Amino acid sequence: MFKLKFDIILMLPIFCLTLFGCNDSRDTVQPNDRLPAHLVGVWASEDAVMEGSALFEGVAVYLGADGVGAIVGGPPAIGCQIIAKFESSNDTILYEMTENGKTVEKGKLLYDPDHRTLTLIQDTCVVLTRRFDELDDNTLTDLGLEEEN
C-alpha cells in the first residue's frame, strides 16, 4: 500500500488486476530498463480529471525514465506500482505490476508514434495522451515511488 500526499490511499485490490491486467507478456522487466524520453511522464485518458499531475477520475499512467511508475484509476484513485521497459521493435511498453517487490501481474501499453498516444490493453482499450513530459519529485513522492539511479 502506498499513500498519496493528499491523503488518498492507493491499494492493490483484486479488481485492479482484472481492470488493468494482461497476462500475455512473456518478457521479464528489470528495474532500470531505461525508457526513451518521449515516453516519460504522465499519460491520461481523455475523460481524466486531474489537479496538476494528480488523478482524481479516469485513468493515468505515470512513467519514470528508470521504468518505475504507476497505473492509477478512479474514482476513488486506486493504483498499482509498475516497472516498465520499451520494446522499440514493436512500439510496446511491457510492464509488471509489483506489490512488496513481487510481480503480481503483467501487461502492455502500445505506443502510436503517429498520434503520440499510448493504448492500455484491457477488456476495452483505453487511449492515453501525454499530459506531462516528466515525473517531478513531488509526483514521485505523491505516488510513493522513488526514482532509482
Domains of the chain from N-terminus onward: 2-135 (2.40.128)
How many angstroms separate the CA atoms of 42 and 69, rounded? 9
What pLDDT does 126 receive? 95
CA dihedral of 122, 124, 126, 127, whole degrees rounded to 10 = 120
What pLDDT does 18 receive? 35
What is the grid cell recorded at 86? 520499451
What pLDDT does 30 receive? 59
pLDDT in tens, the chain (149 residues): 343 433 333 333 333 333 444 444 345 665 556 899 999 999 999 999 999 999 999 999 999 999 999 999 999 999 999 999 999 999 999 999 999 889 999 999 999 999 999 999 877 799 999 999 999 888 988 898 864 44
What pLDDT does 27 receive? 55
CA dihedral of 143, 93, 97, 137, whole degrees rounded to 10 = -20
What pLDDT does 122 receive? 77
96 close to 83: Cβ distance less than 8 angstroms: yes
What pLDDT does 11 receive? 33
pTM, 2 dp:
0.79
Query: Within a 10 A sphere around the Cβ of 41, how many other Cβ atoms?
Result: 22
